[in-house]
Structure 1
Amino acid sequence: MKVKSILISQPEPTSEASPFYSLAKNLKIQVDFKPFIKVEGLTAKEMRQQKIDLSKYSGVVLTSRNAVDHFFRVAEEMRFHVPDAMKYFCQSEAVAYYLQKYIVYRKRKVYIGGKSFSDLKSILKKHKKERFLLPSSNILKPEVPTLMDELNLDWKRTTMYQTVSCDLSELKDVQYDILVFFSPLGISSLYDNFPDFKQGKSTIAVFGKTTLEEAENRGLKVDIKVPTPETPSMTMALENFIKENK
């Protein structure tokens, strides 16, 4: 099988230094990008239906940059002035750094975990007197509410945004040698758009265990699985596969 075209189910990279561009150039193949999923914010009206009063909370638990964006978006739409005394509990340094888009970092109380949500445990435990708001999408990792409940915190989850399938109708009659997926939702979007999708001769590449599980549950044959000790990145795995099947 000679690979001539690859579809990456993500937005096109903004940096020219993306390894996908190098892959396309070095191997002289076509690499296209198309996001299969997108994030949509709930309106202020939809938020009010959840009966969330932002003024009742003294701490915000932020698990992603999307959570940061939509917390401040909703606050603005609901005409709620976020007080200077608000405390921010960020899952990672990346989330905390992104928070500077909305606040003067050095003048606020910002607490930072590590890589996973469990790294916030000791920090949250020290602030048990706070009332916590957890802005999230319609999909939330189970360990998040489990940990919050385990600590007996006074907390409330609010859905401020949701991940939905993109319209992929323009791909209906387009064929690619390799389809690349990075999340279970990307696989779901494929079938939301094309319920009768048949893999045919297309090779499927997936990143992550949950993506692999979703692909296999859908009956797809996965030939490229990332990460592995030999191929920790998707571009490396794609390059090896293409060279081996040249």
Structure 2
Amino acid sequence: MIKKVLVSQPAPTTEKSPYHDIAQNLGVEFTFQPFVKVEGLEAREFRSQKVNILDHTAIVFNSRNAIEHFFHLCKELRVTLPEDMKYFGISEKVILYIQKFVQYRKRKVFFGSSGHWPELLTVMAKHKTEKYLFPLSEGTSLEIAGQLDQKKIKHTECAMFRTVQANLDEDTFKNYDMILIFTPVGVQSLLSNFPNFNQGDIRLGCFGDATAKAIEEAGLRVDLKVSGSIAESLGNFIREENSK
């Protein structure tokens, strides 16, 4: 039976989350404990990449972290963004976050319809003359880089933040029936904090192929791999497990 699930992310700020619905419908208790934390790069670290933000006419964001650290770096570097700068987001939910830093209604904003790269790439292809800048996490690569090259869309990738391991309490994973992990760094954090971690009957759920690979390479068992809707996949998995 799965009754208690540990989610290695910050707690949702509203009840409009898949976990709230699953908790209500299936009687599952969720606890939120981030396994990783995000840190912005310092100005000197960014400068070492020799990327000039103002050489670009459009910024592409794939997460709120990218937005947060992009604007913080611009402030630290004393970069004044022109009003005609275009902003592209992987989804409307992500791009709306720029309101925290600029007047949204006065900016040229575009976003994908589904939260996935193919849809955003289609939107970007309609603006082929732009010079795109992609703020990314250190050590990650842009999965659509090859497609951008094929379409002859000018783009630059740069690191503006990094994901590092968090320090976890020794009782973090105890008494849980399932743990959800979302990044390879999250797997590393679990193993670094608990080198003698014994999975046993604990189900491990993960998001994406890279995280699943990291779990398997650590000699652990992947019980659920989510590539689409967390709500649907997790809900179905818990129903199946609890019906046994």
Q: Distance in 1 between matches of 2:188 and 2:136?
A: 20
Aligned to 2:68, the other structure's residue is in SS state helix
Q: CA deviation at 1:145?
A: 1.7
- Gaps of at least 5 residues in structure 1 are none
The 5 Å alignment of 1:4-15 reads 5-15=4-14
Cα contact 2:11–2:32 (8 A) shared by 1: yes
SS in 1 for 2:232: coil
Separation of aligned partners in 2, 1:223 and 1:196: 20
Query: Which structure's CA Rg is the greater one?
Result: 1
Displacement of 1:47: 1.2
Aligned to 1:45: 44
Report the Cα offset of residue 36 of structure 1: 0.6
Query: 2:232 & 2:161 partners in 1: Cα distance?
Result: 31
3-state SS of paired residue (1:143): coil
Q: What is the SS of the residue equivalent to 1:211?
A: helix
Instruction: Please name the residue that 1:100 is paired with.
Output: 99
Q: Does structure 1 residue 61 correspond to structure 2 residue 60?
A: yes
Q: CA RMSD in A?
A: 3.1
Match of 2:162 in 1: 162
Shift in CA distance, 24/133, structure 1 to aligned 2, threshold 3 Å: closer
1:191-225: CA deviation from partner (whole Å, max 9, x where unpaired): 23233322234333334444333322322234455
1:26, distance to aligned residue in structure 2 (A) = 8.3
User: Would the alpha carbon gap of residues 35 and 135 (structure 1) be closer, same or farther in structure 2, given more than 3 Å must change?
Assistant: same
- Size of the aligned set, in residue pairs, is 241
Counterpart of 1:204 in structure 2 is 204
Note the residue ranges of structure 2 that are not aligned, 5 or more in a row: none
- TM-score w.r.t. length of structure 2: 0.80
CA distance in 2, matches of 1:77, 1:57: 18
Counterpart of 2:67, as a letter, is V
Letter in structure 1 aligned against 2:200: G
The yes-or-no answer on 1:134 pairing with 2:134 is yes
Kept in 2: contact 1:177–1:201 (CA 8 A): no
Deviations along 1:164-196, whole A, 9 cap, x unmatched?
11112x126862342312324222221232333
Q: Structure 1 length normalisation: TM-score?
A: 0.80
Q: Say if 1:121 and 1:3 are closer, same or farther in 2 by CA, change over 3 A.
A: closer
The 1:182/1:78 distance shift into structure 2, 3 A limit, reads same
TM-aligned CA deviation for residue 159 of structure 1:
0.3
